[in-house]
Structure 1
């Protein structure tokens, strides 16, 4: 019997608290999790041999916000097939609009529970 490959998730957020909460919930659910606090750090994971199977990205980020970063990743042939979930405390209708504009695959509203984030990830991988 073959061992199932553990899926890797990259969480990009400038809040250490959000990173810790999301990482704990996803690791508890059996995922391998890497974190980044800015887009440059995230690129090291996204464009490496060990690239993530899914990216969770905060919208409100310094330098380059999450929806613009998602749009860039979806336009790049090396990263366009990685599912992206946007993360924000913005209103639901605003998140639907930003998700559609950026080409992201979905969104999750803050604050979220461990079951919220695990459920959303399961929808995409």
Structure 2
């Protein structure tokens, strides 16, 4: 497997929970606490195969960051899953607006996050 997953969230607890679940499922996990820090992975040889991004973050919220990544020639093909505790209806609207490929609702279980990542990577979401 060894796909690289980049998780961007300003919560150390969420990063730790998601990282642990995905590493146990066999993924290589990179983490960043904001969208600016994430650029060092996205625009380098560490380029992730999928990005999981919290919507509510300091500096640059995840929705705007996702939109910028989808407009950039280098990063537009990387699937993005938005992460939030907002309602499903709000998430679908934000996903459409940002050009994201899907979403994960907080709180999530290890099975929910790994199943969502696996299905996104296998069906090229």
By the TM > 0.5 criterion, same fold? Answer: yes
Structure 2 residue matching 1:79: 3-state secondary structure: coil
Quote the Cα distance in structure 1 between the aligned partners of 2:36 and 2:65.
Answer: 10
**Count of matched residue positions in the alignment of Structure 1 and Structure 2:** 121
Structure 2 residue matching 1:55: 3-state secondary structure: strand
Quote the Cα distance in structure 2 between the aligned partners of 1:123 and 1:68.
Answer: 24
Per the TM alignment, residue 67 of structure 1 is displaced from its structure 2 partner at its CA by 0.6
Per the TM alignment, residue 41 of structure 1 is displaced from its structure 2 partner at its CA by 0.9
Deviating above 4 A after TM superposition, structure 1's stretches of 4 or more consecutive aligned residues are none
TM-score scaled to structure 1, two decimals?
Answer: 0.95
Q: Which residue of 1 aligns with 2:116?
A: 120
Q: Which residue of 1 aligns with 2:13?
A: 17
Quote the Cα distance in structure 2 between the aligned partners of 1:14 and 1:86.
Answer: 13
Q: CA RMSD in A?
A: 0.7
User: Which one of the candidate residues 30, 42, 61 is aligned to 1:46?
Assistant: 42
Unmatched runs of 5 consecutive residues or more in structure 2 = none
- The alignment status of 1:85 with 2:81, answered yes or no, reads yes
TM-score scaled to structure 2, two decimals?
Answer: 0.95
Structure 2 residue matching 1:107: 3-state secondary structure: strand
- The alignment status of 1:99 with 2:95, answered yes or no, reads yes
Unmatched runs of 5 consecutive residues or more in structure 1 = none
- The alignment status of 1:71 with 2:71, answered yes or no, reads no
